[in-house]
Structure 1
Amino acid sequence: MNQLQNQVSPYLLQHKDNPVHWLPWGNEALDLAIRLDKPIILSIGYAACHWCHVMEHESFENQQVADLMNEHFVCIKVDREERPDIDHIYMDALHQMGVSGGWPLNVFLMPDQKPFYGGTYFPKSNWLQLLNSIQSAFQNHKDELQQSADGFAANLEDKSIGLYPVELNELTPIIPEVLAKISKYLDPIFGGIQKAPKFPLPSLTLFIESFPEKLDTNFDVYIHSERQLEKMAQGGIYDQVGGGFSRYSVDSEWFCPHFEKMLYDNAQLVYVYSKAFQRTSNPLFEEVVNSTIHFLNRELRDSSGLYFASLDADSEGIEGQFYVWEFEELNSIIPYEKHAPFYQAFQIKRNGNWEENKNILFKNHSVLNVVYEKELQTLATVRAKRIRPQTDTKLLLAWNAMLGSGLVQASKGLNNHKFLENAIALEESMIGFWDIKNNLLLHQISYSNQPIYAFLDDYGSYGLFLIHLYNETAKVIYLEKLRKIVNGVYQNHDQMNYLFSFQSNLNAALISNKYEITDSVIPASNSMLCELFFWSGILLNDVTYTLRAKDMLAAVLEQAAANPLYHANWLRVYSEWMENPQALVKYNPSNYAKNELPQLRVTWVPIVDQSHAFLLCIGDRCLSPCESIDELLNQYNSI
């Protein structure tokens, strides 16, 4: 029988009434497969996933399909956000099979957990045919399947990662060459990568946004960032009524979103737009930051002060139903005759600008939404009466920490202290992620059977959040927590070629250990950790962390330069700390408050036990100490 009813994952609970005899991942399900000598169907998804819902409705709610699955397979459901370690392994296996990834991820395993076939969404007829074929193959050609599974499992080990380190001190500048490669893939009209579907890829945009001015003079790089951020803010991927971004656009123009809203996307985009506003003073960017934070606080903030994982793409069983409008409905509440400029600004058509006579609100030029504040507020009031998309109420450490960093950057970029207060309150709420009894960090606060301990991205994201908070507040408590984070990484994660395993060795072992290095919609956990170590070397006054950061960069840099689109966070860290090192000023906060410091293009770093007033550093090279602001200004101007 179905055994998901006692799970805490909203995704697993969505499947608790399926006639499929789903089991959660764990010893019971894995031992059962061995005891019964049955193949495993491992089905991985997440609560906000549209195609996960479609396959559930078509196949997993169907008795005929369920009978076939129950008779011949052990069926396991996994929430990819609850167990990203499992998802990493079997998504990698799917790629090895030559299949494009996505969710739902459906993989067939031998009883020993080794994969031999897989795919994503299957229509019911295809799924039934596949089930019969797999069952027959397992019964009649089991040895061949096992041989195939053994081969896939062997190739899942990240044995060659970082085997070709470069000598950082002997490198000629590579960032201009990297930029030339990236530019070939950028959309000159709508920004982002020239492809559909189109994802925001915040790491790539932040890499471009973080270039020093001297590179922009030669390569005109900032225009790429500004174009993308403006077009996204105008597009349907941005919720013009309620704020916040959807996960991606199905087209190349940011027009039609895949309507699910994820915390990690919005957290990172708050950071990127704040950084861009700090440089450009573009009021559209400021509006987006304010509106997105308001959306997050209104729609995803839990009573604990932490933030939920996502909002579903569907409502009333229809993708995007909550967000789109028919012309007649709009005309009845905002008459066209009196509000024609609004209709024109947001591209609203009588027969719809999307499918089934529906309109997605998007703008064809960079007008501020505040110009149409009354109309948008009217729509927000009406929309609030609709059936709302479901909320995935998981509380995940990494995603909350990403938002915390975004809030700190918003406070700096928009000069709004309320955002810093929001970030401080968020960090205080993170006490729930600590297993106090064992002094260990958790991936999520609630769990069904046993704790799920923090993965590498949890450590990286939380550590960077603490660094951002410390640099703004000079509160030593954040350094004390940072030291715990760094120690936890070394104690709880395996190491290979200077990199760290994604999985924690506190959780049950899986069939392979993954070392995440690819920056995608979220930065790779190791690239976050690399930046964390650079900062830890300065803030914790320990050069071994700095050396470890350099070793990590050296291990990955050749691969990153060859494929820069998906190593953008690595390249930003390399640029900021090595090739184009950022200017840092260590200052004693007992001598000067943050608001007393001069406006310079530097990162101010409070060092509470520093004997002198200021120490100007370029990367890891520091100049002679200064005892006054005038001395510091003279030194700064000299470089």
Structure 2
Amino acid sequence: MSVKFPFFPLILMVVLGCNPKPNEVTHKYTNTLIHETSPYLLQHAHNPVNWEAWHPEVLERAKQEDKLLLISIGYAACHWCHVMEKECFEDPEVAKVMNEHFINIKIDREERPDVDQIYMDAIQMISGNGGWPLNIVALPDGRPFWGATYVPKDNWIRSLEQLAQLYQKDKPRVIQYASDLSNGLHAINLVEHNKDNDLFTLEQLEASVHNWSQYFDTYLGGHKRAPKFMMPNNWEFLLHYATTQNRKDIMEFVDTTLTRMAYGGIFDHVGGGFSRYAVDTKWHVPHFEKMLYDNGQLVSLYAKAYAVTKNELYKKVVEETIAFVEEELLDESGGFYSSLDADSLDEHGNLKEGAYYVWTKDELELLLGNDVNVFQDYFNINSYGHWEEENYVLIRDKHDEEIAKKHGISILELQEKIKADLAILKKERSKRSKPRLDDKILTSWNALMLKGLVDAYRYLGHEKYLTLALKNAYFLQRAMTKKDHSLYRNHKEGKSTINAFLEDYATLIDAYISLYEVTFDEQWLQNAKSLTDYAHQHFFDKESGMYFFTSDEDQSLIRRSIETNDNVISSSNSIMANNLFKLDKIFYGSGYGSIATQMLKNVQQDFGLQAQGFAHWLNLVLYFNQDFYEIALVGPNFKLLGQTIGASYIPNSVLVGTVGESGLELLQNRLVPDKTLAYVCIEGACKLPVSTSDEVLAQVGHPEQD
């Protein structure tokens, strides 16, 4: 449903470009953000604007004083947030207008996605687009009536003065507009309880993928557009679809996409890890910030793709991405930090996007000497790899074989040369001013990284990845989980704060299920069940059959959102539905499966023309329309057998195991003394037990066994 509102001509949103200015820090002013832990909020603690954090008492004061709210939302790695801070929020003239007419609230969108969701919907209804910084003017009760993204200083002052005057002179008009907008915000978030008995079929899914495929960039990978976001859930579903439906054309597209992303400048060839998105069609020039949630999901994706293809490039991407995360984002507690900024200081001391990552031709010639010709061919230090001014962003577009042949060396020699060259560049880059670190620890993003580590261990077999995963899981259990099985959202400097959202529960449940499948330690499975039951009690909406984003124990703003569209991170409801489906296979009689079924029915009407926006949901369509296997392992060597089976990509399965007796129904009455047996079951009905991984793979129809 699309709802748009006309708006007052005198205060239309203005969005103009600008260049960053030098990073000037002053402590002439200090506001209440100094008491917060979010790096983004602390960046604004010395602005002359009287910023306050999002707290109930601030909203209550606004009502008492009948003062408009000015709500500005961003995040630490946001380039244009920094630009607007420099131009507007550090300026005393701007601050005077803001402080006189508004109660000013700064929000870290990563800490408070619940607030960000609502105001992002609002600005999209007002203007048709959105982004960050997200600036909203709202009534004292939080209902919005104006919004803009980046606005230059003069337009910002003029707009705020007009808004303040309008509220004083024509308050009923403003209140009516805010009321209409709030009604629209409710309307676009409604999810109806679909009473249709039919689930989406494989034939319908095939048609959906066909419609989607019209947007595939089969040469450069991804979708035919710029900017290009990596969208891990899109390619992970298509990997699932291609392998289970034997679609070689889809698998070829997935391979093209993953190869081009790994070749592109969006991947940091020097230090590992991915940036958030590419501004062009060839994955070349990134928006340089590096986010934990992207890298966690991409580790999972590339590990699974490696399991299917045995492509060494994918394995290398997994290893180098984890190495980056471990080097730059790992806290000594076992938690992972959130991001690295896009901006850093250049050689002139100016804050500039990408300064840490780019190279000039002269620099490369000086550093690499005789090897520079091979390196320049390999990473396109030419018109293809040129960015702006004299700067190049490293990008590949040829296979190793082609480069090695051109230079008359072996592939191994080439790889050793490039490895040595990149080590030189990494050492040189370490002398540069590093991007700022957002060192808050978020439950959901850590859960995505945890799952990435588990999948890396499962499909690559490196024991250190499991060690890292367990350290993170114990941290989340210790620091982010309360005694009643509820979660915290945020952790910083030893302190956990903010009640978690559905995204936190859903991603952590998913990670715990995956961790159980490689360790067979039932505490992780029981943790997943406890979190599921808590989420059902406090987030479930009986009317729609979906889950709210916020708990019933937290104060809601305008509405309790229901998140269904899969974005760069899959929607909390789609992750939850997948979790419920899998847990239903393990905990018989739980009723989880019927909830997952209803959730799928509620959103499936959108799959036909918007498949890419529901990619994670589409995994459920495959689960419901094909055999889903419960693989139960019992006996003294069950862990070794499980490790061997688990290394094969079998998305339509859950893996459980024990050495002897277990409380899990799937594992009961299976023990045969001195034997390790595998039982492949569908809905609890099992095939004859077998004792080798090859026999298991044959029973589940794994393509390697066809």
Q: TM-score range by the shorter chain?
A: over 0.9
Residues 583-624 of structure 1, C-alpha deviations (whole Å, 9 max, x = no match): 342222556333377757644611443212443234x47344
SS in 1 for 2:556: coil
1:441 maps to which residue?
487
SS in 2 for 1:238: coil
Bigger mean CA offset, 174-183 vs 599-608 = 599-608
Aligned in 2, Cα 1:432/1:101: closer, same or farther, shift over 3 Å?
A: farther
1:344-383 equivalences in 2 (<5 Å): 344-349=377-382, 353-367=386-400, 371-383=417-429
The answer to whether the aligner puts 1:245 opposite 2:274 as a matched pair is yes
Aligned in 2, Cα 1:458/1:597: closer, same or farther, shift over 3 Å?
A: closer
1:616 maps to which residue?
680
Answer yes or no: is the 8 Å Cα contact 2:630–2:680 preserved in 1.
yes
Bigger mean CA offset, 238-247 vs 434-443 = 434-443
Percent identity at matched positions? 35
Aligned in 2, Cα 1:365/1:59: closer, same or farther, shift over 3 Å?
A: same
Answer yes or no: is the 8 Å Cα contact 1:4–1:16 preserved in 2.
yes
1:61-72 equivalences in 2 (<5 Å): 61-72=90-101
SS in 2 for 1:342: helix
Answer yes or no: is the 8 Å Cα contact 1:587–1:604 preserved in 2.
no
SS in 2 for 1:355: coil
2:673 maps to which residue?
none
**How far, CA to CA, are the matches of 1:171 and 1:117 in structure 2?**
43
1:86 maps to which residue?
115
The answer to whether the aligner puts 1:467 opposite 2:513 as a matched pair is yes
Answer yes or no: is the 8 Å Cα contact 1:166–1:557 preserved in 2.
no
Q: Equivalent of 2:501, from 455, 459, 462?
A: 455
**How far, CA to CA, are the matches of 1:449 and 1:383 in structure 2?**
33
1:554 maps to which residue?
601
C-alpha displacement at 1:543, in angstroms?
Answer: 4.4
C-alpha displacement at 1:432, in angstroms?
Answer: 3.7
Q: Equivalent of 1:18, from 47, 56, 59?
A: 47
Aligned in 2, Cα 1:634/1:435: closer, same or farther, shift over 3 Å?
A: closer
Bigger mean CA offset, 114-123 vs 253-262 = 114-123
TM score, norm. by length of structure 1: 0.94
The answer to whether the aligner puts 1:4 opposite 2:33 as a matched pair is yes
**How far, CA to CA, are the matches of 2:86 and 2:321 in structure 1?**
32
The answer to whether the aligner puts 1:298 opposite 2:327 as a matched pair is yes
C-alpha displacement at 1:358, in angstroms?
Answer: 0.9
Bigger mean CA offset, 416-425 vs 256-265 = 416-425
Q: Equivalent of 1:205, from 212, 223, 235?
A: 235
The answer to whether the aligner puts 1:324 opposite 2:374 as a matched pair is no
Look up the equivalent residue of 1:133 and give its one-letter code.
Answer: Q
2:192 maps to which residue?
162
The answer to whether the aligner puts 1:513 opposite 2:513 as a matched pair is no
Answer yes or no: is the 8 Å Cα contact 1:166–1:558 preserved in 2.
no
**How far, CA to CA, are the matches of 2:533 and 2:302 in structure 1?**
32
SS in 1 for 2:588: coil
**How far, CA to CA, are the matches of 2:577 and 2:241 in structure 1?**
18
Residues 309-335 of structure 1, C-alpha deviations (whole Å, 9 max, x = no match): 000000121111100112222222112
Look up the equivalent residue of 1:207 and give its one-letter code.
Answer: F
1:204-603 equivalences in 2 (<5 Å): 204-213=234-243, 215-217=245-247, 220-316=249-345, 317-335=351-369, 337-349=370-382, 353-367=386-400, 371-436=417-482, 439-446=485-492, 451-495=497-541, 496-575=543-622, 577-588=623-634, 590=636, 592-595=638-641, 602=650, 603=653
Bigger mean CA offset, 500-509 vs 286-295 = 500-509
**How far, CA to CA, are the matches of 2:434 and 2:700 in structure 1?**
54
Aligned in 2, Cα 1:597/1:353: closer, same or farther, shift over 3 Å?
A: closer
1:81-230 equivalences in 2 (<5 Å): 81-157=110-186, 160-168=190-198, 171=201, 173-213=203-243, 215-217=245-247, 220-230=249-259
Look up the equivalent residue of 1:454 and give its one-letter code.
Answer: A
Answer yes or no: is the 8 Å Cα contact 1:250–1:257 preserved in 2.
yes
2:88 maps to which residue?
59
SS in 2 for 1:561: coil
SS in 2 for 1:156: helix
SS in 1 for 2:59: helix
Aligned in 2, Cα 1:415/1:170: closer, same or farther, shift over 3 Å?
A: closer
SS in 1 for 2:241: coil
Answer yes or no: is the 8 Å Cα contact 1:173–1:579 preserved in 2.
no
Answer yes or no: is the 8 Å Cα contact 1:479–1:539 preserved in 2.
no
Residues 268-295 of structure 1, C-alpha deviations (whole Å, 9 max, x = no match): 0000011111111111111111000000
State the Cα RMSD in Å: 2.5
Residues 341-367 of structure 1, C-alpha deviations (whole Å, 9 max, x = no match): 101211124998111211111112234
Answer yes or no: is the 8 Å Cα contact 1:433–1:443 preserved in 2.
no
- Consecutive unaligned residues of structure 2, counting only runs of 5 or more, are 1-29, 346-350, 401-413, 671-676
**How far, CA to CA, are the matches of 1:520 and 1:132 in structure 2?**
36
Answer yes or no: is the 8 Å Cα contact 1:300–1:309 preserved in 2.
yes
Aligned in 2, Cα 1:55/1:626: closer, same or farther, shift over 3 Å?
A: same
TM score, norm. by length of structure 2: 0.85
Residues 338-397 of structure 1, C-alpha deviations (whole Å, 9 max, x = no match): 420101211124998111211111112234865501110000001001110011001001
